[in-house]
Structure 1
Amino acid sequence: MLAAHLTQGLQLSTYLLERLQQKKIIFAHWKGNVHLLESLEGKTDIELLLRPKDREDFEATMAELNFKKAESAPWNRYPKVEDWLGFDEETGALLHLHTHYALIVSTSYGDYVPLPWEEQFFNHLTTDEATGWPIPEPAMESLILLIRLQIKGQNPAYKLHEVHQEKKQELLVLLSKTEADRFAACCAALQLQAPVDVAERISLILTKERLGDIMALSDFIYRQLPESIKSAASHHSPRALYYKYYLKTLKHYKPLVKPIRLKKRVETGGRVIALVGSDGSGKSTLSQDITSWLTYKIDTHYFYMGKLPFIKSYQTRLFSYTDLLGSRNLLARVSKKLIGNLYHILIIRQKAGMLKQARELRNGGSIAICDRYPQQEVFGYNDGPRLQDTPQSTFARLEMKYFEQALQTGADIIFRLIVSPETAHQRKPEHNFEDIRRKCESIKSMRFQSASPVTVVDVDADAPYEEVLLQLKRHIWRRL
């Protein structure tokens, strides 16, 4: 029955539910259950509440399903909250689990409010009819949501009207399923008092759908909370203030600096991943789609290693001095002609510097996706040396020096996209067939030897694009 309701993320989310139930782990998807199906499809986060005593069994389940533990950026870390990422083999979807070992309400940039009601919460669970997942009964979830609205509203960083509008429809759905006596019972379980006219208030909210009525009920509940909760809600730490302005200023100077980690890193470590292939193999489109897929949750940066190399970090193209030579204006054209062979030296020097940055990102747990990759085995094309006709010349020796520097850093994984000349030419009919044939053949012969260990994976790029993309995702996930 479950399979009939789920689409994307179906297999992995189903396996997750089954394994947790088999191990008799007590858990619940504790918030946002109006959008539970979207969470199980990988479109939003899965918010799991667990008991600390079940941590060992839960982490064993994560290992069985090949989930990977992730670490958030400093401004998104909260105590007793962990991040796990899973990969659905059938669809290529990433599932992101927020696992809470306490009821934690985030406020802003690492600030949070703990709610002391885990056991009461677990005592008010039901089963979602559409998915079979354990969730809080609507009365308890709506009560917690009303409290969360007030907690978040204590922070001036939030635009109250926007936050409340976002949650308004969710609350209306929950209250439409809530009976007044159940709402009062949940209040009593949390040692709170429901308003005597709670039935009329709920009816008014559902009839008029006014934010003012919602916030009046929310405020009635919030004023009864323990002072420790209200104090934590109104507390704004210096750290949160620092991260707030750090991220704001970053928007302005990011194009001028090195790639900066903004999202999660997988605890198993980062990777430098390169895609190589002839024209028509799909390497650039695949590189960009792989970057987008990973950037959904993992800190990932795009490195273009072609004729005018550059780095794109979170849709921002970082400054590259080689861009000045690639411009079509008169000054750039004259400059390129004047420097002659020095142009090729500048390009490979730039690539060597970029690969050094990629390795630094990798060592910090991030992922660098390289669209193309330098090689020393074939001269003149396929990103190989261009000045080796006279190997003893100064320019030739300097070029090979920078090639060696580039390859010393090395990629961890190189996907060699093997495509037939006929297929490649069909995709790129404007290119010379003989040039494409030569490039296709040379790609097969390259070994990409470097100072550090590298895994070379051959991929059949003649296959339909979606099949190739899914195959790459599977290879990458297994090697993270």
Structure 2
Amino acid sequence: MQDLAAKPLDDTVAKPVTKLNLIAGLLDVFHKQNILYCHWKSNEHLDASMTGDTDLDVLFDIKQKGKLLQHLHTLGFKKFDSIKEKQYHDIEDYIGLDIPSGKVVHLHAHFRMTMGETYLKGYQLALEDKILKSRVYDETFGIYTSSPAFELILLYFREALKLRNREALKMSLLNRVNYSENVMKEYRWLKERVTDSQIETILKSLFNNYRPIYNLVTGRFNRKELQKLALLIKKEFKKYRLYSPAEATLTRWYREATVLFSRKLATLLNRPIMSQRINPRGGLTIAVVGADGSGKSTVTADLQNTFRTKLDVYRVYLGRGDGKISLARKVLLGARKMVGPEPKKGTAKKGNRNSGNKQKGLLANVYKCIEAMLVANEKSRNLERMQQAKQKGMLVICDRFPQNQIMGYNDGPLLNHLAKSSNPVFRAISDLEAKVYKKAENNPPDLVIKLIAEAEVVEARKPGETSLEMLEAKIAGIKALQFKDSCQVITIDASQPLGTVLATVKKAIWNNYR
């Protein structure tokens, strides 16, 4: 079939659309380096793909794979592996970060036409060459796409091969025959751009006895009709099966059950359990530190929301304030409120490291010891989970990080003032707490982001919570914090607009990925 590279899909003069810088650069490289490709499905919403809101599903010539990967690396794309239950033959995931927008770009690279049921994709159809040869150039978006006729045929094939026994049961019992509006929107968009004769020409080139398939592909688009189509194309593509029928069923059931169970378990237990994609070269741990009001929780929440759309992200709270705390500490805090109001925050004097810890009376020390040990236990448990998540290849985002240099605040030890107490019990408890903070010191993150702003700026964000004097001490302490040489430390002016801060942080994270 003729390559219609220079011809738009219609006769109107197309207007260029805004693309993310990274995507524009990617397409520019493809064209200049003569990479044979086409965006082969879901072209109805290419506008969303150009702005990074949906994946780029691109078919490549497998003979050019080595050349392609070199250019992807130059552009900053990194290969991530889907979890085993979602890995499919000759489909690979490359993730990039568009720095100006802070958006994650997912290039779903297809080197073979692998399709089929969710969690399996048990067919590999030898259609790549025909799809690439019939590609067309979309002037509006500046990208090669599959021809609408071929894309419509593939839509029928994809949805037919996705059908499982449960869909047949739903059709029988619940009359669930029609597809969702999103799928129908894509179907109608393609149907408007295709003639039956174009479909017939393609199907003639694929099958000797094409007429039964042609009748279904040009007929109604619903599950009942596609079930009939599935029987025909499974017979035609029998030699392209990747699994035997029994193996396919068992594999699909196992994968689906594993993924669903893992997601539920991760939500229930807050454990670092993989469900999407991880870095096969190793995980990355970052920590965001700063004084109260510097934006730690805001930044870490945004990072989690940005990266978890495509990657396995584990966010862990390592402070002692308003984050996720244990049930035991919730009970303790409840009991403390019943006894009397807590001391006002930020009453310590500037430069006094032990201020804020010194409270008179045995009862106060007992309470402080219990609280400090519960906090230390939480930090120890979360540090272990942090290490587990990194070992699995996840992106670990730490809201705060324990430090062993400033006592009494800035997430430092709370019981250092008892290290030389005349009471041996207090000394022993202080020693136990110190071991947790030493553990954190010996296992630092890969990247630490220090959010620094003037005391007046951060106080205005949380007025009345902490005195200016204490804020100045905390900010000075954050500036002075040091970490092991293996840890990269970046200081960011937290008084800048949030978008600027986030762009700087995301760029630092991406640069630290191997």
With the shorter chain as reference, the TM-score category is: 0.7 to 0.9
After superposition, the Cα gap between the structure-2 partners of 1:132 and 1:199, relative to the gap in structure 1 and judged at 3 Å, is farther
SS of residue matched to 1:275 = strand
Q: Deviations over 1:215-269 (max 9, x none)?
A: 4895696377333357969663423212222333345543236321112112342
- Asked if the contact 2:88/2:120 (under 8 Å) is kept, the reply is yes
Per the alignment, residue 424 of structure 2 pairs with none
Q: Identify the match of residue 446 of structure 2 among 409, 412, 419.
A: 412
After superposition, the Cα gap between the structure-2 partners of 1:164 and 1:221, relative to the gap in structure 1 and judged at 3 Å, is farther
Q: Which amino acid aligns with 1:305?
A: L
Q: Deviations over 1:315-370 (max 9, x none)?
A: xxxx9454544663689989999654132022123212211221221122111111
- Asked if the contact 2:295/2:494 (under 8 Å) is kept, the reply is yes
Per the alignment, residue 402 of structure 1 pairs with 436
Alignment of 1:419-434 (within 5 A): 419-431=453-465, 432-434=467-469
SS of residue matched to 1:58 = helix
- Asked if the contact 2:451/2:491 (under 8 Å) is kept, the reply is yes
After superposition, the Cα gap between the structure-2 partners of 1:349 and 1:230, relative to the gap in structure 1 and judged at 3 Å, is closer
Is 1:293–2:306 an aligned residue pair?
yes
SS of residue matched to 2:298 = helix
Distance 1:69 1:253 in 2: 27
- Asked if the contact 2:455/2:472 (under 8 Å) is kept, the reply is yes
Q: Which amino acid aligns with 1:17?
A: L
CA RMSD, Structure 1 to Structure 2 (Å): 3.2
Shift of 1:66: 0.8
Distance 1:467 1:473 in 2: 10
Alignment of 1:308-457 (within 5 A): 320-325=326-331, 328=334, 340-393=368-421, 394=427, 395-431=429-465, 432-447=467-482, 449-450=483-484, 453-457=486-490
Is 1:225–2:259 an aligned residue pair?
no
Distance 1:2 1:197 in 2: 35
Distance 1:333 1:350 in 2: 24
Per the alignment, residue 348 of structure 2 pairs with none
Q: Deviations over 1:157-182 (max 9, x none)?
A: 79774883242221111011001211
Q: Which amino acid aligns with 1:186?
A: I
- Asked if the contact 1:379/1:386 (under 8 Å) is kept, the reply is yes
Per the alignment, residue 174 of structure 1 pairs with 190
Q: Which amino acid aligns with 1:388?
A: N
Q: Deviations over 1:177-196 (max 9, x none)?
A: 00121111111121265549
SS of residue matched to 2:123 = strand
Distance 1:426 1:310 in 2: 21
Q: Which amino acid aligns with 1:366?
A: M
Distance 1:83 1:344 in 2: 44
SS of residue matched to 2:486 = coil
SS of residue matched to 1:389 = helix
**Percent of residue pairs identical:** 25
Alignment of 1:69-148 (within 5 A): 69-148=79-158
Q: Identify the match of residue 211 of structure 1 among 205, 222, 227.
A: 222
Q: Which amino acid aligns with 1:102?
A: R
After superposition, the Cα gap between the structure-2 partners of 1:442 and 1:40, relative to the gap in structure 1 and judged at 3 Å, is same
After superposition, the Cα gap between the structure-2 partners of 1:136 and 1:214, relative to the gap in structure 1 and judged at 3 Å, is farther
User: Which has the larger displacement, 379-388 or 221-230?
Assistant: 221-230
Is 1:242–2:247 an aligned residue pair?
no
Stretches of structure 1 that go unaligned for 5 or more consecutive residues are 312-318
Q: Which amino acid aligns with 1:247?
A: V
Per the alignment, residue 314 of structure 1 pairs with none
Shift of 1:423: 0.8
Larger radius of gyration: 2
Shift of 1:39: 1.6
- Asked if the contact 1:40/1:95 (under 8 Å) is kept, the reply is no
Alignment of 1:154-193 (within 5 A): 154=164, 156=166, 161=176, 164-165=179-180, 166-191=182-207
Q: Which amino acid aligns with 1:109?
A: Y
Q: Which amino acid aligns with 2:21?
A: Q
Q: Which amino acid aligns with 2:206?
A: L
Q: Deviations over 1:51-71 (max 9, x none)?
A: 221011100111110100000
SS of residue matched to 2:236 = coil
Shift of 1:29: 0.8
SS of residue matched to 2:187 = helix
* TM-score (norm: length of structure 1): 0.87
Q: Identify the match of residue 49 of structure 2 among 21, 39, 59.
A: 39
- Asked if the contact 1:308/1:323 (under 8 Å) is kept, the reply is no
After superposition, the Cα gap between the structure-2 partners of 1:130 and 1:216, relative to the gap in structure 1 and judged at 3 Å, is farther
SS of residue matched to 1:376 = coil
Distance 1:391 1:96 in 2: 52
After superposition, the Cα gap between the structure-2 partners of 1:183 and 1:302, relative to the gap in structure 1 and judged at 3 Å, is same
- Asked if the contact 1:303/1:371 (under 8 Å) is kept, the reply is yes
Q: Which amino acid aligns with 2:283?
A: G
Per the alignment, residue 277 of structure 2 pairs with 264
Shift of 1:426: 1.4
- Asked if the contact 1:80/1:102 (under 8 Å) is kept, the reply is yes
Distance 2:58 2:138 in 1: 14
Q: Identify the match of residue 162 of structure 2 among 152, 159, 163.
A: 152
Distance 1:164 1:189 in 2: 29
Stretches of structure 2 that go unaligned for 5 or more consecutive residues are 1-12, 341-362, 422-426
- Asked if the contact 2:265/2:271 (under 8 Å) is kept, the reply is no
Q: Which amino acid aligns with 1:442?
A: G
Shift of 1:407: 2.1
